[in-house]
Structures are given as C-alpha cells and as structure tokens.
Chains A and B, each alone.
Chain A
C-alpha cells in the first residue's frame, strides 16, 4: 500500500504553557507574545503624529474611523451576548443629541458634556431597549433597526432639539491634539478592555447567554440583568463616539441617527471577524479609509466598495483577523499516516 500523507496543524508554541500562564525562556518568545499586542498600540498612537505628512484631511478620516471602530466594538460586544443589533445609530444618536443638547442649552464645556452625554446616552438606550431584551435573534435586530429611524422622525415632527435643522454652533474641542488623541485612546481602552472583559468569568457568562440562554437561566442567573448590563457597556462605547463627534463637527442633527452608523459597524465586524473585538477594529481601519480612497472613482465608488466587500466576505468568511491570527499561531506540515 502506498504511503499516505495528511496536513497537520500545530500550535506555534511557547515551551511551557498552561492556560494563560506562560513560562517565557527567551526574548523570541516574549516578542512572539508581545508583538500582536504592542504593534496596534504603537500604530494607533503614532497615526496622529503623521499630521504633517498626510495632511488634515486624512487625520479627519482617522477620527471618523475611530468613531466607526468604536461602534463596531459595541456591536461586537452585543453580538457576544447574543443580541444581534442593527441599530448602532441609536447609541450614536443618543450620545450625540444629549451632548449637543447640554452644550446648546446650558453652554456646558465639552469636558462636561462628553462624559455626561456618553453615560446619559448609554443609560437612555439601555432603558429604551429594556423591554425588548427578551427578544432573540432577528426580532431584536428588527426592533433595533427601527428605533433610530423612529427617534429621527420623532425629532423631525415634534421639532424638539432643533427639529430637522439640528443644533449648530456648538463649542469646538480644545486643540488639534485633543481632537486626534481622545478617539484613539478611547478606541484602545475599549479594544483591550472589551477583550479582557469577555475573557473574565463575567464575559464567559455573557458568551454563555449567546450560546444557550436557557442553560444559563437554569444556572440561577438573571440573564436579563446581564443583558442590560452588556447593552449599557456597549452603549457607553457607542454613545461616546456620538458625543465626541458632536463636538468635533460642532453640530448635531438628524444625520446622527443615519442608517450608515448602523450598517457600517456591522460590515466592519463581519469583514474583520466577529467575536474578537480586534476584528471589527481592523475592519473599520480597512473599510473607512478604503471608502475615502475610492472617492476618486466618483459615482462608481459604491460599486467598487461593494465588490471588494463581497469578495472579502465570500473568500474569508471567518474574517480577516481570525485568518491572520490562525496563520500567526499555527504552522502546517505534511505527516505520513497509515
């Protein structure tokens, strides 16, 4: 009988490794562990420094990218609890409008309005979503998809909060470095914070709710309380993006509830890889700049954009981040069998 082979996949290991405890014996192993963690931090922190090289336009793109990445992170956190959300614009809009309102009516400075808008917006969204938390899957998605649209129309017809004109002339942010570094740092905090959170015991329960909520319930855990907490945490990330962008644009209006803020984070997450938090961030840093580059094609932009997106999603259904992660941690070789 002829010799038969199969491809074997092996973990590129640290010599002694037990759960999360590594016995590191060389600089190479330390580098192996540190590189994927330190690289994005350095890259993100150094991007604002390129201000002089790439020009202000691309720095604006960086701020928008960070905002979308924050929304994508908040989507991913909700997806980790089994809440498939199609309405990240709800978080964004709530944070944006509350911040704008506080600044416009009372003249409070951004240092006060952004934190208040963030927490208040997240709280508002959590209270709004509280009655629908028991919905699952597509039903929750439908409710969250319509809520931002509903709020936008509500503001338009009742003419509160500036109606369809919005509130403009808000206080500007103090200084360009503040503008650039706050979203970057917020993104890094959310990225590493969420990754830590989901791997804690608390996060494991959250993932348990996604996988089998009835089993978690029968473990005497109140899943609605946990879901509400998760929505609040995700809401903080989303509402912060809204609150910050309000002062960045010095304007808040109905576009804060636009469908873009719901769909784009979702696409980023799917492209980058759901469930890893790094994936959605990576997705945002690919998609938003890509969409800017494609502006050169004029109206054909959407065609190219969609084509690239379809190719990526069909070709790499696991997500770009998971693919890179796999290639980094594992290697393959042919072994003889039989």
Chain B
C-alpha cells in the first residue's frame, strides 16, 4: 500500500533519515521503533507531506535547508511531491505527536472540524465509531479540548484522524506521556481501528506495549534502518531486548 524507497532527509547538513526503505501492506499494523532523534517524526512528516510545507517556509525565510531525496509511492502512485492536503484526500492521515487539538473548541467541535473534507452521509457513523473506540470522548463531548487531560487529548487527536476516514493512519508517538493503563486502552483502540480495515503505521519509543500487536516492525537508529521483522521476532531479538526493554 505504502512503499518508501531510498528515502533521505537532510536538515541543513545533518542527516535525519539515511537511505530508508520500508513497505506497509494493506490491513496491517506496522511499527517504526527508535529512540529520541532516530528520525521517527521526520519520517512521519515526510510521508504525510508536511515536510514539503516546512521546506517551503524555511526556504522563504532563509532558514534551515531541508532536502528530501527518494521516492514515496502510495497504492502504486508516486506521491513524493504531492501536497499534504492532497495526500489527506488520498487517505493518508497523520495524527501528530503531543496531541495537537484545537484547545478552544469542544471535543465534539474538534471532531466535526476533522470531517471538513467529507461530503458523504456516513459522518454520523464515523462519530459513532470514534465514540465506541474511545467511550471516554463521548462523556467529554461538551468539554473544551484544552481542558482535557493529556490522554484524553491524545484520544481526541486520534479520533480526529479517524473522522477524516483514513486508509492509511499514521500515528506519531501515540503513547507519549500516557500512563501504562492509558497505554493499554490505546493499544486496544489501535487494534479496533485495524479491524475496521484501516492500515496503521505507528512510531513509538515504548516498544514493550506495542510489539505484541504489530505485524511488522522496523527499528531505526540515527535515521538508519538497523533491524526489521515481525513483532514476535523483534520481541525475541536480544538487541531489541537490550535497547528497548532494558533486560
């Protein structure tokens, strides 16, 4: 479904992603694991196209020069130079890290804003789906998003991504800053979302809760792919154990 070939991203002279190739197949959960500064967020921004926007902005004010080389294909189509808004229309939706929501709108309004692109009559069904995946959001419907807790905002951010009816959902560090109990809730939700036929690409530092549910995992370090395998294989891998479980 998504195919990345020889991707290289430079921020000025620093190499953020080094010759990375990965594939995401339909209906699977694919995990990208790595510590801080491994290039996870950059990878997500590149796939969602946000980096094109960042690049333009930086070029205009003469800031950092961002260079993106390589090829990104979505369902056989080259989208390397496609604008981020066009990519959303194609079904690539990113839920960014640190749960960005509109703090002055209520939870329900936030979800409504996310349906902006959709004209189909099934919006109501999507609302129900989001509310069944995250029952907590239904209770908080009328509360302003800025006053929700971090975990609730994270749910809302993912809910907003779901409202756009993604075919490929990109989740950037969804477990960031959540308690272990909350993490388990979210993991369950991710599984439910996959059952709806949404392909998921998720980046995370906390490999332990995530590894059991992912179909395929890529471990990156300093922008370079160092290891790949199914979730089960990675769990048994001594290197991953040492690096991510502290065993």
Contacts and interface: CB of A to CB of B under 8 A. Distances in A.
A34 interface: no
Contacts, number: 29
A8 B13 contact: yes
Interface stretch (B57-65, B121-129, B142-150, B186-194): B57-65
B62 A9 contact: no
Interface string B66-82: 01010000000000000
B166 to A, nearest CB: 31
Given A318-B61, A322-B62, A7 B8 contact: no
Contacts of A326: 62
A302 B38 CA distance: 53
B206 interface: no
Contact of A337 (B8, B62, B63, B65): B8
A4 interface: yes
B184 interface: no
Contacts of B12: 9
Interface in B1-38: 6, 8, 10, 12-13, 19
Nearest to A326: B62
Given A6-B69, A9-B12, A338 B62 contact: no
Contacts of A7: 65, 67
Interface residues of B, number: 13
B56 to A, nearest CB: 12
Interface in A1-23: 1, 4, 6-10
Interface string A92-123: 00000000000000000000000000000000
Given A6-B67, A6-B69, A317 B10 contact: no
Contacts of B19: 338
Contacts of A318: 60-63
B6 A1 contact: yes
Interface string A316-338: 01100011001000000000011
Given A337-B8, A338-B6, A4 B62 contact: no
Nearest to B64: A9
Contacts of B62: 318, 322-323, 326
Contacts of A10: 13
A323 B60 CA distance: 11
21 contacts: A1-B6, A4-B69, A7-B65, A8-B13, A9-B12, A9-B13, A9-B65, A10-B13, A317-B60, A317-B61, A318-B60, A318-B61, A318-B62, A318-B63, A322-B62, A323-B62, A337-B10, A337-B69, A338-B8, A338-B19, A338-B69
Interface of A: 1, 4, 6-10, 317-318, 322-323, 326, 337-338
Ranked nearest first, the 10 interchain pairs of A and B with the lowest CB-CB distance are: A6-B67, A318-B61, A318-B62, A317-B61, A4-B69, A326-B62, A317-B60, A9-B65, A338-B8, A8-B13
Given A4-B8, A323-B62, A337-B69, 10 more contacts: A1-B6, A6-B67, A6-B69, A9-B13, A10-B13, A318-B60, A318-B62, A337-B10, A338-B8, A338-B69
